[in-house]
Amino acid sequence: MTPPEVAQWQAQAQRVTFAHAGGVLTAHHWSAAPAPGHLHKAPVVVLHGGSGSWTHWLRMLGPLTQAGHAVWALDLPGFGASDPLPHQQDADDMLPLLAASLQHWLPGQALQIMGFSLGGMTAALLAAAYPALVRQLVLVGPPGLGLRDKPLYRLKGWRHLADPVEQLLCHQYNLAALMLADARQIDRATLALHTANVQRDRLPRRRLASTDILRQTLPRITCPVQAVYGQEDVLYRGLWPQVAACFGGRLQLIAGAGHWVQYEQPGVFAEAVLPMLL
């Protein structure tokens, strides 16, 4: 089942691809909403989280385009509609392809990139490796700070299960365990969106997110960086002073939200993030 909101935004998008050795990288592009008397603002590139796709940003497409931003939502290689690179293992293998595709689609522009979770970590690595490409970063719930020896959550495996109902129960459990603070938000549409995403994850062995690679990378980034987390995010709940120190104090917490903060509290998130954008 494709949730109606996903189908609606998909129908409005311009879908573009960029060829690579393993197939294609896919992105969806939405123009800024018409706003008489107002100049359009700089475009925003959004990168999704692990086991995700552009739909991780579903509830932000309206606020971003209505605020005057064109949006480019990439499916990272190995996720969604994008093919994995040959011999790809993790986020660091994506960087040359991401740089080449963004320079092709948005030539001559220094970009503002908003990345969620794995996408935030990847955006930071990209900014460090290609400083001329990135004008500003907003990192949403990124891992890679190395602040916990053991995670506070445990996800259930599902690929070995033959029964689709048992698989669905695992997806529901995992959404509550990692992604959302309020399990009551897991309705049929949310579960369908999440299920479609995790079924297309072709990079299950990635490991960088459990290291301190982001903390090691941040000092090498020359553009402005702002971090946003849900206050109940199980990645770092209870460690916010240490997280703030990693980002030089540039941390904003969204109350009543877990890891998938821009989906769980879209209105509050938009109010916090839109003033950060150019």
Total residue length of the chain: 278
- What is d(CA 215, CA 209) in angstroms, rounded to the nearest whole number? 11
Sheet with 23-30: list strands edge to edge.
14-20, 23-30, 71-75, 44-47, 111-116, 134-140, 225-230, 251-254
- What is d(CA 84, CA 126) in angstroms, rounded to the nearest whole number? 18
CB 71 within 8 A of CB 55: no
Q: Tell me, what's the pLDDT at 191?
A: 97
Q: Tell me, what's the pLDDT at 204?
A: 76
Q: Tell me, what's the pLDDT at 34?
A: 80
Encoded tokens for 184:
């009551």
Q: Where are the alpha helices (DSSP H) in 106-151?
A: 118-129
For the chain, what are the domain ranges?
4-152+205-276
List the Cα angle 157/160/162 in 5-degree steps: 120
Encoded tokens for 12:
């409005």
Q: Tell me, what's the pLDDT at 205?
A: 80
Q: Collapsing DSSP states into helix, strand and coil, what is residue 78?
A: coil
CB 104 within 8 A of CB 18: yes
Longest dimension (CA), the chain: 56
- What is d(CA 120, CA 145) in angstroms, rounded to the nearest whole number? 12
CATH number of 4-152+205-276: 3.40.50.1820
Q: Tell me, what's the pLDDT at 1?
A: 67
Q: Tell me, what's the pLDDT at 38?
A: 63
Q: Tell me, what's the pLDDT at 127?
A: 99
Q: Tell me, what's the pLDDT at 36?
A: 67
CB 140 within 8 A of CB 261: yes
Quick one: which of 13, 38, 210, 115 has its CA closest to 98?
Answer: 115
Quick one: which of 190, 205, 202 has its CA closest to 51?
Answer: 202
Q: Tell me, what's the pLDDT at 33?
A: 87
Per-residue pLDDT of the chain (278 residues; tens, 9 = 90+): 689 999 999 999 999 999 999 999 999 999 998 876 667 799 999 999 999 999 999 999 999 999 999 999 999 999 999 999 999 999 999 999 999 999 999 999 999 999 999 999 999 999 999 999 999 999 999 999 999 988 889 999 998 999 999 999 999 999 999 999 999 999 999 999 999 999 999 987 889 999 999 999 999 999 999 999 999 999 999 999 999 999 999 999 999 999 999 999 999 999 999 999 99
